[in-house]
Structure 1
Amino acid sequence: MSRRDTAQSICASVLADRYLAPGESDRRDVFRRVALALAAVEPEPLRNRVAARFYRNMLRGAIGAGRIMANAGTTQPGTMVNCFVQPLCPPQRRVALADDIERALSDARATLSMGGGVGYDFSAIAPALGESGSSSGGVCPVVDRFDEACRRLTFAGARHGAQMAVLRCDHPDLVAFVRAKRGRTRWPTFNVSVAVTDAFMSAVADDAPWTLAHHAKPTRPRAASSRRADGAYVYTQIGARMLWRDIVECARESAEPGLLFIDTINAANVLAPIETIDATNPCGEQPLPAWGSCVLGPIDLSRLVHHPFGADGEPCFDYARLASLVRTQVRLLDNVITATRWPLAAQAREALSKRRIGVGVTGLADALAMMRLPYDAPPARALAARIAACIRDHAYAASSEIAAERGPYPLFDAAYHLAPGSFGSRLPEPVRVAIARHGLRNSHLLSFAPTGSVSLALADNCSNGIEPAYDWVYGRAVRLGGREARVYRVENHAHRLYHAIYGAQAPLPGYFRRAREIGALEHVSMLAALQPFVDAAISKTVTIDSGAYDAQVDTLLFAAWKARLKGITVFRPDPKLEAVLTPRCPTC
């Protein structure tokens, strides 16, 4: 029996609800539709050949993210782009006025209604005690308005709006912002992150005072000395560790806020000379400038292990096939930028000038188990890093080949990509030579995102993104067709395959590792192993023990900063809170 010959009930249901267009009956129909739609932007003599290439690539495990698979080739008024960041005011103005907020709300509705997830930096909002022509009353009431606007939208199918709220670590409303999602009931359409600077982290380490400041003038008169060199007005000083304790306590209690290490993000950005990044998309894997966006497409790594678990031979990973999948995936995602509908003209202008794409992965943990490697063992991290390096090298090689054919992205400058110490400087020499000669079609090429729905619908519930499996057999609550959520039995793909090979009663070897069985620092170590090979960022939740103390979370967050990660989110299982995933399920 092929591992995908008999689809799990939940996989078939999610496929039908979220991805099948009228007249389609299985995933091959989805692949044909998507392949034909994205090959249509090719010169006419190439279209059939390229469509066949795209179709074959999807059959082998290189798929588009959800918006691509749902909307390509349909008449639905949706976008194929998952990730956006939108500003709250023009860049030349450091304080958002009331009219700016209204325009930003209108822009948010336009993007969300077409299926895009949006991130915002709310740092331009005047603090609750400020006066700047805005009647916002501070950051939190403005986030309330964006959350309400999203909840009032009508969405087709099961996908609802997703947003990210980011606030800088020196904003005077930081404490209220950090505490807002305690209990996980406020802002249900939002994830929340604090953009922390190296200076803030050092102040926490040194137990130093921290200045909260904003470009909106405080209500109460201040001395001239209370104005900073950058023109911001000082509101108050507070112990950095007092702020940090709030962040740590709320992260441990409610899994929010996450941290964005914003200085690391900007220092690593190849386009830092021409853009500033202040926020990310809702899941954090794509740092983006104002109006930035990114199209995503994961590759199922579990499809690339020969002799899984040692059946009929020593397991080995097929790097040659991975390279081929990556090269075709780059072309497919580049075509999405040309073919998609854009919610806003500003997004189209930004995307067409830089052509960001995000080749990603799913099924990493399953692939490691098939290679007989425990997820938290050093050899597993070494293999994961080698896989990521292969993806990086061939993605950049493919982008340069497409640039030779179609031209580089309009703002390309070889100095950005090949400067000493840059991301591109670590590429193999032949790739660097090709970039110097032909340029790059895309400014950024890699983004390791969550892949929940597409992994479920199109990849037999392989492990999500780079995450370890939640469990082997469990219940998953899914809302289909606008109906009440139903709990389905779901089985991890690697677990299913193992028992298909060795029998239903075969005990699992020790290299099968669930998320809760992996130490928090080992989760961080996997992120640290992969991040050097990813030019955007990585979405991953670091699972901590349900009894973890604040001090342990403190240590974990500092370890992530010192490892030069771009961000981190922690999750502490809490049985008192409703969960989408549960060990209790029908007939488990």
Structure 2
Amino acid sequence: MKDVVAPAAPVQFDMPISEMIWDAKYRLKEAPTKGPAAEGRNLAVQDLTVEDTWRRIARALAQPEKDADLWEERFYDALSGFRFLPAGRITAGAGTDRNVTLFNCYVMGTIPDSMAGIFDMLKEAALTMQQGGGIGYDFSTIRPQGAPVIGVGSDASGPLSFMDVWDAMCRTIMSAGARRGAMMATMRCDHPDIERFVDAKADAARLRNFNMSVLITDPFMDAVKADADWDLVFNGKVWGTIKAKDLWNRITTNTYNHAEPGVIFIDRINAANNLGYCETIAATNPCGEQPLPPYGACLLGSINMARLVKNAYESNAEICLDELNDLVRLAVRMMDNVVDISNFPLEQQRAEAQAKRRIGLGVTGLADALLMLGLRYGSEDAAAQTEAWMKAIARASYLASVDLAKEKGAFPLFESKAYLSSGFMKGMDDDVRGEIAEHGIRNALLTSIA
């Protein structure tokens, strides 16, 4: 008689709230098509355990591979034990028949300064949010309050009034599903309505569905340091002049009092961007970790550092760098495949994603991992250890993407000389730069701390 191998025990969640969140947000449940539950009051559970969720994701993300069965098992191994955590849109949507996007982060197209163009952009935002994408917009392109509207004999209401319309749309879309809508609004520090933008969250009932950030330029910071005047400009016309330091103090005071607005050092972002030769960034996703161009999209995923610690709390506690490297390489491959299997609300978003194949691999569980190694979060030793881990992840990510380029081809807009001349890539290790120069790279950008 053959030995009977007992099935592996289901994973036990560390805390009840973890299981509650999985059950409420990520566990696959489908409404029956007939019977008393057909109205959706009781959903049929498809993911009986979290292992079923991992299997569903692994199978879906392996579909673009030539040997899908092989990669399904490898991807499942990366997911098991919560070692690699794909972002929520992937966890909730991969391997289902739902018409949803697997990308968390979007920045929408440039808003035209016309009534028709503005409401076209509102429609695109609604379609994107309907599929679960968070969105960012730069409202600097809309003429300021009081500007003449040629041909109709009236004055413009300004970008803040249209942001109110976006806010109402987001509230409506949110009411249609379980996931709260999220938006980012940005505005240049030299827009004539910037003071109104900075003060907007002083009204606690206004723009509740927006995060807001001021696009800070290098010349503005120079003017702040010099206590110089600062011109407010739209379409080449100076609408007013204020003290740069007064605007800076206004920003920081509102941030202290109302937690808004944030600041985005937009010139620094564009100077460092790997793709500065083919795109200009003016906004981010709702939480600010993904600066993106018009119609840009990025997916997210995290290495769970705490799950990689060996001999936790002992004197020989460590993270094995070989295991970290292998897990990063699997994560990069999984996330690259998401670009090919995901739905996109708009064709412009699909084209942008597939032309650049940007992904955002980050970490979670960092503070726990440091504690397991006996390092106090925020200490110099912890900062040094974090820097070493982050460099290892960046190197592994970029080299994994080079290997994918050898196998599947570089991203379509790759230009070796321009790419390697970007601010970020100038600081990359020489061996990694050499590999990219010789073989190209599959993903234009790879890392992000969400």
* Residues 1:347 and 2:338 are matched in the alignment: no
SS in 2 for 1:379: helix
Contact 1:183 / 1:254 at 8 angstroms: preserved in 2? no
The CA distance in 1 between the partners of 2:252 and 2:368, in whole Å, is 31
How far has the Cα of 1:159 moved from its partner?
1.2
SS in 2 for 1:171: coil
Match of 1:47 in 2: 68
Q: 218, 229, 236: which one pairs with 1:198? A: 218
Letter in 2 for 1:114: Q
Contact 2:145 / 2:155 at 8 angstroms: preserved in 1? no
Matches within 5 A, 1:318-397: 318-397=320-399
The CA distance in 1 between the partners of 2:356 and 2:273, in whole Å, is 13
Matches within 5 A, 1:468-479: none
The CA distance in 2 between the partners of 1:441 and 1:5, in whole Å, is 37
The two structures have a TM-score, normalised by structure 1, of 0.70
How far has the Cα of 1:96 moved from its partner?
1.3
How far has the Cα of 1:157 moved from its partner?
5.1
Q: 53, 57, 61: which one pairs with 2:78? A: 57
Shift in CA distance, 71/135, structure 1 to aligned 2, threshold 3 Å: farther
Where structure 2 has 5 or more consecutive residues not aligned to the other structure, the ranges are 1-8, 30-45
The CA distance in 2 between the partners of 1:206 and 1:353, in whole Å, is 42
- TM-superposition CA deviations, 1:350-388 (whole Å, max 9, x none): 111111111111111111111111111111111111111
Q: 274, 279, 284: which one pairs with 2:283? A: 279
The CA distance in 1 between the partners of 2:445 and 2:246, in whole Å, is 37
SS in 1 for 2:301: strand
Deviates more, 1:28-37 or 1:179-188: 179-188
Contact 1:88 / 1:101 at 8 angstroms: preserved in 2? no
Q: 196, 217, 224: which one pairs with 1:176? A: 196
SS in 2 for 1:211: strand
Alignment RMSD: 1.8
Matches within 5 A, 1:492-503: none
Match of 1:35 in 2: 58
- TM-superposition CA deviations, 1:117-174 (whole Å, max 9, x none): 0000000011002124596501111110101011111566531110000000000101
* Residues 1:111 and 2:128 are matched in the alignment: yes
Shift in CA distance, 210/422, structure 1 to aligned 2, threshold 3 Å: closer
How far has the Cα of 1:185 moved from its partner?
2.9
The CA distance in 1 between the partners of 2:19 and 2:279, in whole Å, is 43
Letter in 1 for 2:134: G
The CA distance in 2 between the partners of 1:156 and 1:148, in whole Å, is 13
* Residues 1:263 and 2:267 are matched in the alignment: yes
Letter in 1 for 2:80: L
* Residues 1:209 and 2:211 are matched in the alignment: no
Letter in 1 for 2:224: V
Match of 1:131 in 2: 148
Contact 2:13 / 2:19 at 8 angstroms: preserved in 1? no
The CA distance in 1 between the partners of 2:300 and 2:176, in whole Å, is 21
Runs of 4+ in 1 over 4 A off after TM superposition: 132-136, 154-157
Q: Percent identity?
A: 42
Q: 74, 85, 95: which one pairs with 2:96? A: 74
Matches within 5 A, 1:176-575: 176-182=196-202, 184-215=204-235, 232-310=236-314, 313-419=315-421, 422-449=423-450
* Residues 1:152 and 2:156 are matched in the alignment: no
Contact 2:274 / 2:420 at 8 angstroms: preserved in 1? no
Letter in 2 for 1:31: W
Deviates more, 1:131-140 or 1:401-410: 131-140
- TM-superposition CA deviations, 1:183-232 (whole Å, max 9, x none): 543211110000011111111121111000101xxxxxxxxxxxxxxxx1
The CA distance in 1 between the partners of 2:181 and 2:79, in whole Å, is 27
Letter in 2 for 1:9: P
Deviates more, 1:240-249 or 1:288-297: 240-249
The CA distance in 2 between the partners of 1:156 and 1:40, in whole Å, is 31
Match of 1:456 in 2: none
Contact 1:326 / 1:395 at 8 angstroms: preserved in 2? yes
Contact 2:146 / 2:156 at 8 angstroms: preserved in 1? no
Shift in CA distance, 378/183, structure 1 to aligned 2, threshold 3 Å: farther
The CA distance in 2 between the partners of 1:369 and 1:202, in whole Å, is 40
How far has the Cα of 1:84 moved from its partner?
0.4
Contact 1:18 / 1:157 at 8 angstroms: preserved in 2? no
Letter in 2 for 1:62: F
- Tell me the matched-pair count: 422
How far has the Cα of 1:5 moved from its partner?
3.0
